[in-house]
């Protein structure tokens, strides 16, 4: 066979491509015009509500960036107006607002909706569970997003991951935590499964929007709070009103945030706009985690240097009690809720498998790095 020169190869390829395009153009033109892949000139103006305070660093700002990316990628065909928590509706009514069609999109965290369906909690985080990298692997490659989509479809919602905080801090306290007994009677702002664990060890979990936490802690409405990590916590000013800042974030080792779309409206969109929304959500998912990872160390040092708050580590005995309480909470939850059991089985199986890998990869690497 004659070996083609690079110039001849390119020429022949171009001719073949042209012939194929001509052939395809002759095929059923009417069907092609009706195809959902054809880019429509129709314009869309949607509203997004969030559970975050208006223009909140990383999270609120990220939602604004998401809207800008969507508009740019769609050539201006889709514009999204972003409202912070409380600007259009109360922060913790975002689920109902999207479900009803009052708005088309919300950004928040799925564990806020545990009162609507307990299985929603698994799609944010599980105490003593997987970290951000592992959660993303479960969602995108381990069937987690399929389960999430199945659950939210019951409520006319379409979910996508929309950010991850990474490993959080255990929170801010005005008394030292020396034993599990110190949690008894403690009123703490802590949502999701972590809140159920706090109740199990004798505390009282309080759910409140981010904009209310500082005032509640300052006035003694709550005795302690968790939020995210050093970057956000510093911006919130907790170091000025709390004495102790505890690690590790046993309750939220890798908290996945969410976009939820009104499913009926999402399904009506042309395929290219649906894809743009999904891709922009994935971009924000990466950006949020990257920003927290980049800035948490900087702001942890600022907390140490600029405030009287003490950074402390929870005693191992306390963590053991919290882990046992977590096992109790999860067991009771999956015994009474069928879909929670289905999600937990997927989550726990994936965690077991991925830990087999991480134990001989990342764990060994970090241990060796600490010894160098």
Q: Evaluate whether residue 132 is within a structural domain.
A: yes
Mean pLDDT confidence for 87-112: 97
CATH code assigned at 113: 3.40.190.170
Cα torsion angle, 5, 10, 14, 16, sign: positive
Position 38 scores a pLDDT of: 55
The domain containing residue 123 runs over which residues? 44-164+255-292
Distances in Å between the Cα of 104 and the Cα atoms of 19, 21, 59, 100, 161 are: 44, 38, 18, 9, 16
Q: Which helix (H) or strand (E) holds 29?
A: helix 29-33
Per-residue pLDDT band for 313 (boundaries 50, 70, 90) equals: very high
Residue 97: count other Cβ atoms within 10 Å of its Cβ: 21
Question: For residue 259, is it within any domain?
Answer: yes
The pLDDT tens digits of the residues spanning 277-307 come to 999 999 999 999 999 999 999 999 999 999 9
Burial degree of 218 (CB within 10 A; 0-12, 13-18, 19+): middle
Neighbouring C-beta atoms of residue 89, cutoff 10 Å: 17
Residue 237 inside a domain? The answer is: no
Question: Each residue of 261-271: pLDDT tens digit?
Answer: 999 999 999 99
Query: pTM of this prediction?
Result: 0.86
How far apart, in whole angstroms, are the C-alpha atoms of residue 347 and residue 336?
17
Give the mean model confidence (pLDDT) for residues 123-152. 98
366 pLDDT tier (thresholds 50, 70, 90): confident
* 334 in a structural domain: no
| pLDDT, mean over the chain | 91
Q: Give per-residue pLDDT as tens, 13-44.
A: 444 444 434 434 444 443 333 444 556 689 99
Please answer whether residues 203 and 186 qualify as being in contact, where contact means their C-beta atoms are separated by less than 8 angstroms. Answer: yes
Calculate the alpha carbon distances from 297 to 58, 70, 127, 248, 327 in Å. Answer: 16, 31, 22, 14, 31
71 in any annotated domain? yes
- What is residue 206's predicted lDDT score, i.e. its pLDDT? 94
In a domain, 275, yes or no: yes
- Domain count within the chain: 1
Contact 145, 282 (CB under 8 A): no
- Average pLDDT on 321-335 reads 98
38 sits in which H/E element: none
Percent of the chain residues topping a pLDDT of 70: 89
Give 15 or 365, the one with higher predicted confidence.
Answer: 365
Note if the bond before 248 is cis, omega within 30 degrees.
Answer: yes
262 occurs within a structural domain: yes
> For residue 142, is it within any domain?
yes
Q: Which residues contact 182 (CB under 8 A, 6 or more apart)?
A: 175, 176
Q: Are strands 171-173 and 244-247 parallel, antiparallel or unpaired?
A: antiparallel
| Residue 33: alpha-carbon gap to chain centroid | 38
């Amino acid at each position: 066979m004659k070996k083609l020169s690079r110039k001849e190869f390119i020429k022949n390829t171009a001719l073949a491509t042209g012939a194929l395009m001509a052939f395809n153009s002759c095929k059923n033109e009417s069907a092609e015009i009706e195809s959902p892949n054809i880019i429509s000139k129709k314009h869309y103006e949607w509203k997004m509500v969030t559970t975050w305070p208006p223009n909140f660093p990383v999270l609120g700002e990220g939602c604004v960036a998401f809207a800008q990316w969507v508009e740019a990628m769609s050539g201006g065909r889709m514009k999204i107006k972003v409202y912070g928590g409380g600007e259009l509706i109360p922060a913790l009514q975002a689920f109902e607002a999207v479900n009803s069609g009052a708005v088309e999109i919300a950004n928040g965290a799925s564990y806020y909706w545990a009162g609507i369906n307990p299985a929603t909690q698994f799609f944010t985080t599980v105490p003593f569970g997987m970290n951000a990298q592992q959660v993303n692997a479960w969602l995108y490659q381990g069937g987690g997003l399929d389960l999430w989509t199945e659950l939210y479809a019951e409520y006319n919602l379409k979910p996508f991951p929309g950010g991850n905080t990474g490993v959080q801090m255990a929170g801010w306290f005005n008394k030292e935590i020396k034993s599990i007994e110190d949690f008894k009677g403690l009123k703490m702002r802590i949502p999701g499964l972590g809140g159920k664990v706090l109740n199990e060890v004798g505390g009282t979990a309080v759910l409140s929007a981010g904009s209310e936490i500082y005032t509640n802690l300052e006035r003694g409405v709550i005795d302690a709070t968790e939020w995210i990590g050093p970057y956000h916590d510093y911006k919130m000013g907790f170091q000025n009103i709390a004495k102790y800042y505890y690690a590790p974030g046993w309750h939220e080792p890798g908290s996945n945030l969410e976009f939820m779309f009104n499913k009926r409206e999402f399904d009506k969109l042309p395929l290219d706009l649906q894809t743009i929304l999904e891709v922009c959500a994935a971009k924000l998912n990466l950006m949020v985690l990257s920003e927290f990872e980049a800035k948490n160390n900087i702001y942890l040092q600022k907390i140490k240097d600029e405030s009287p708050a003490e950074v402390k580590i929870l005693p191992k005995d306390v963590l053991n009690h919290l882990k046992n309480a977590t096992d109790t909470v999860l067991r009771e939850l999956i015994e009474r809720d069928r879909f929670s059991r289905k999600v937990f089985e997927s989550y726990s199986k994936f965690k077991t498998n991925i830990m087999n890998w991480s134990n001989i990869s990342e764990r060994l690497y970090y241990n060796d790095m600490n010894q160098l």
